Chain A
Amino acid sequence: MSTTKQSQKHIEESDQAVVLHPDNNDLFLRTGKQIIAACRMNISIDVWFSEFNGMLHRVKGWVHEHESRVSLCYCAARGSQITFFFVPSSDTFDFDLADELVSLNSELVTSFNVGMVEIHQIPGGDVDRFLNPDESRLVYGDDRSAH
Chain B
Amino acid sequence: MVPELRRRHRLIWQIGALVLILGFCGAVWVLPKPGFSASLVQQPHVVFPQVLTTKKVDEFSFVLRGNLQGEKQLEVTIQKPLTIPSAQIYWQNNFIGSLGSKGVQLFLLPKELVQKGDHVLEMRSALDQSAFQKITFTLRVQIILPYNGTVKKNTMIAS
Binding between chains A and B: no
Which A residues are within 8 Å of any B CB, using their own CB? Answer: none
Which B residues are within 8 Å of any A CB, using their own CB? Answer: none
